[in-house]
A = this chain, B = another copy of it.
Amino acid sequence: MSRSGLSGFPEWSPDLRWVEQQLVDRLRRTFELHGFAPLRTRSVEPLSQLLRKGETDKEIYVLSRLRAEEDGADPDGERDDRLGLHFDLTVPLARWVVENAGRLTFPVKRYQIQPVWRGERPQEGRFREFVQADVDVVGSGDLPAHHEVDVALVMAEALGRLDVGDVRIRVSHRRLAEGFLHGMGLPDPAAGLAALDKLAKIGPDGVARLLELAGAGPEQSRACLEFAGLRGPGALAAALDLAARHGAVTEDVTLGAERLAVLLAAADDAAPGAVEADLSIARGLDYYTGTVYETELVGHESLGSVCSGGRYDDLAASGTERYPGVGLSIGLTRLLSRVLGSLVRASRPVPTCVLVAVDSEADRPRSDAVARSLRSRGIPADTAPTAARYGRQIRHADRLGIPFVWFPARGSEAEHEVKDIRSGEQAPADPAAWQPPEADRWPVVVRN
């Protein structure tokens, strides 16, 4: 599917690119129906911005000007003012909000569909360039909790419209998880959280080893793993019970559980079954401070999360002004790498609906005129590349999946004819009036 010779930099063939574009159009439409406005930020940020939250687990690509290197000139500016490619769309959003705060009406609702880059080692077989589709709501000063429900529901709807099967949005809350680890007496709750985040990847034994390295004893370790194993309707009650049994009910545990309960109830009211609790969700080193989300594609759980995010209260700030936000990000390339070509494909590899045959190069203007007439009525049309014999022109259309071949009238008395090359049926037709069956006009996304 990926045909790029460079590992980590996928490229779709034009027919799959067509499908990707149609799916992106559906995302746009859904986001816009919910009042999210489109934004595109530049691809680069100063390193100081990308590293603002201190440690990050994202590998960054740094840029340098080839000519500056050749001239032996100093790199542009100070080390931290050098430019890097953004590794997500949330850090650029935070920068953009602060930069434009005076011109914005809060809460800002924006969506953004763009490539991001991670400077991974090539051999790891991970994506180094991929497209994300994000929605975020950012407030000024505060941000009402109902937006944490809204972003989950818009993403559930958007993913549903992609026609790639069922998705399940799973949520937890940073304060609940961190509060629990703290209440359990873990010496380094952050390291504990990073360990729990790896549950799906390395399994309970692997996590237990990491917890041990983070200073947890066997009982603490068992309790943490039990916590992370809680999922579904009874998860919150079980977590509070577990915390009570271990004397780990801190203020954060109570508050986190409360907020999560409110979110789950509201989501269940609006879209039953779309969102469920899963206390293994931690979102590692990310900048989240509240609700955190991950999303499974049912039947493709091994793919990992196809849509993740959370609430971040401290990412954007300027002077005394804070801009708390909440958002979710679809890993579109990861999702499509699984479904493009296997689950869904384009009904044909080129947009063309009609190939207009060419009798001879001298007659090409006549064929061009037919194609122009068809296009003017919204029918994708092309003229044959060469005036080969008709059999070869039909084979060319067939190879490209073009359903119709048009034979222009030879002389003013003669009639135009159009042939459906799938059925072989051929009939007289008028370039100014003929219509293809609506289903044939454009390629469509079909399920395999």
Which chain A residues have a beta carbon within 8 Å of chain B's beta carbons? 3-6, 9-15, 17-18, 20-21, 28, 32-44, 46-47, 59-69, 76, 83-85, 96, 99-100, 103, 105, 107, 109-110, 115, 117, 119, 121-122, 129, 139, 144, 146-147, 266, 269-270, 349-352, 361, 364-365, 368, 372, 375, 378-382, 385-386, 396, 399-400, 442
Residue in A14, A109, A147, A361 with the greatest tally of chain B CB atoms within 10 Å: A14
Sampled A-B contacts (6; CB under 8 Å): A11-B96, A35-B352, A35-B382, A47-B66, A60-B66, A62-B64
CB distance from A378 to the nearest CB of B (A): 7
B375 near A99: Cβ-Cβ < 8 Å: no
B351 near A385: Cβ-Cβ < 8 Å: no
A375 near B129: Cβ-Cβ < 8 Å: no
Q: Which residues of B contact A352 (CB under 8 A)?
A: 35
CB distance from A236 to the nearest CB of B (A): 21
Candidates B33, B43, B361; contact of A381 at CB < 8 Å: B33
Nearest 7 pairs of A and B residues by beta carbon: A35-B382, A14-B37, A65-B119, A9-B42, A32-B351, A35-B352, A60-B66
B6 near A378: Cβ-Cβ < 8 Å: no
B66 near A375: Cβ-Cβ < 8 Å: no
CB distance from A8 to the nearest CB of B (A): 9
Q: Contacts A42-B6, A65-B60, A69-B62 hold; do A105 and B396 have CB atoms under 8 A apart?
A: yes
Q: Which residues of B contact A105 (CB under 8 A)?
A: 396, 399-400
Cα A14 to Cα B41 with chains together (Å)? 10
CB distance from A44 to the nearest CB of B (A): 6
Candidates B5, B35, B67, B266; contact of A59 at CB < 8 Å: B67
Cα A380 to Cα B110 with chains together (Å)? 14
CB distance from A199 to the nearest CB of B (A): 25
A380 near B44: Cβ-Cβ < 8 Å: no
Q: Which residues of B contact A375 (CB under 8 A)?
A: 33-34
> Which residue of B is nearest A349, CB measured?
B37
A38 near B61: Cβ-Cβ < 8 Å: no
Cα A347 to Cα B387 with chains together (Å)? 48
A40 near B12: Cβ-Cβ < 8 Å: yes
CB distance from A68 to the nearest CB of B (A): 8
